[in-house]
Amino acid sequence: MPSQAPLLLRHHRPFIAFWLARIFTASGFQMLTVAIGWNLYQLTGNVLDLGLVGLVEFAPRVLFMLHTGHVADRYDRRKIAAICQTLQALIALALAIGSATDNVTREMIFLLAFLLGAARSFEMPTTQALLPSIVPAALFPRAVAAAQSAQQSATIVAPALGGLLYAFGSVWVYGPTVLLYVIACCLMLNLPARQTPLNKGKATLDSLLAGIRFIRSRPDILGAISLDLFAVLLGGATALLPVFAKDILLTGPWGLGLLRSAPAVGALLMSLWLARFAVERKVGRVMFTAVGVFGVATIAFGLSTSFWFSLAVLVVLGAADMISMVIRASFVQLETPDEMRGRVSAVNGLFIGASNQLGEFESGLTAHWFGTVPAVVMGGVGTLLVTGAWIKLFPTLANRDRMHEPVDEAKA
């Protein structure tokens, strides 16, 4: 049976369409962010503006958190995703026209960055909630891993491609990005219609908060989501990579590029492995072990003075993070009723975004207080302490055997 499952996934046409749409929209976003960053820095020469763009893109996720999940549960998810991708295509088109006519301004970029963040804040929980409805439950963990392989492939290839195209002018990045989003939109609209009834309830405060209440009522889901929040918050060292590259590992921009790509390479390789050989038993133990490896790899990176060893450790770090992410995403979606998946995914997405954004701030703050190396080492130690604490706080999660309980499978 395990040897047949990947074959079934490869021949599952709705998933193939979803996977391709994921490739195109992730590649479009990566190329778009590279071009926006270069374009803005050319206009202003202000490093602070680059940080503000990231903050502006993240703000809609907080502002619309409760509404994004409700929209994903109430309306056709295919159409919501397609609308979001269309909006992103229009943003890229506006930048292409502005670049061609030399009318791109700082204010224009900030406005479009906010709209881009708003589109993605609705798209992410919608697509996460959409995936369980287009693949059988038995194939879902492999589908999550395969979908993540698309994301990681885009993370590795698309920024380099965007930088290469930008050498010919920003229009050469914005123009192809429009096409990528349009293709993704068409693929989304061709997915099968939702089989479960739509939630026709009104957007009351009670319904908007239902996702938060549901997570609080399920200790395993709460434990997994909060574990990711605190582990990544403390263990994230990517914000300090320029310092390590220049002052500790004594390399140049090419070395920094390799260091930034290394976690994505590890994540991609692991996602391809998990798409073929899914974790089916002792998932709680495997997940906590992966988070522990993530913490150890963070400490090893902080103490390393060898460029190639640091590169290898970051590959391991990315692979460990992917194991945790696939297990967490799989059982959270499988344990959540379809009518609640949008709202739960919206809360989960906020936790992930907050851990990444606040993690960069935490790394910078502790590096300022204690130094770069101590900051990273303390972050790794903090991740290990959180892992141990969460094993005690959420014993059923640590001892979880399967993605979804046999009782639920019998009912299904």
DSSP 143-180: HHHHHHHHHHHHHHHHHHHHHHHHTT-THHHHHHHHHH
* Alpha-carbon 313 to chain mean position: 21
- CA dist 152 and 130 (Å) reads 20
Q: Do domains 9-195 and 203-404 have the same CATH topology?
A: yes
AA letter at 391: I
Return the sign of the alpha-carbon dihedral for residues 357, 362, 368, 372.
negative
Residue type, 56: V
- Number of Cβ within 10 Å of residue 263's Cβ equals 25
Query: What is the maximal distance between C-alpha atoms in the chain?
Result: 62
Domain limits, the chain: 9-195, 203-404
The 10s digit of each residue's pLDDT in 240-287 is 776 777 788 887 756 776 777 788 888 888 888 887 777 777 888 888
pLDDT by residue (tens digit) across 379-388? 889 889 989 9
For residues 121 and 81, the answer to whether their CB atoms sit within 8 Å is: no
Q: What is the pLDDT of residues 133-165, one digit of tens each?
A: 888 777 777 888 888 888 878 877 887 788 778
Which of 16, 26, 128 is closest to 72 using CA atoms?
Answer: 128
CA distances to 109, 123, 335 from 142, rounded to whole Å, are 38, 22, 16
In the 8-state DSSP scheme, what is residue 135?
S
Amino acid at 113: A
Length of the chain: 412
| Buried-state track 316-328, b at ≥16 Cβ within 10 A, e below 16 | bbbbbbbbbbbbb
Q: Closest Cα partner for 140 from 5, 253, 292, 244? A: 5
Question: Residue 104 gets which letter from DSSP?
Answer: -
Most confident of 12-21, 102-111, 119-128, 175-184: 175-184
Q: Which of 26-35, 262-271, 274-283, 309-318 has the lowest mean pLDDT?
A: 274-283
CATH for 203-404 (3.50.50.60, 1.20.1250.20, 3.40.50.2000, 2.60.40.10): 1.20.1250.20
Mean pLDDT of the chain: 80
C-alpha distances out from residue 369 to 84, 129, 224, 252, 366, Å: 41, 41, 30, 26, 5
Fold of 9-195: Growth Hormone; Chain: A; (1.20.1250)
Rg (CA), the chain: 21
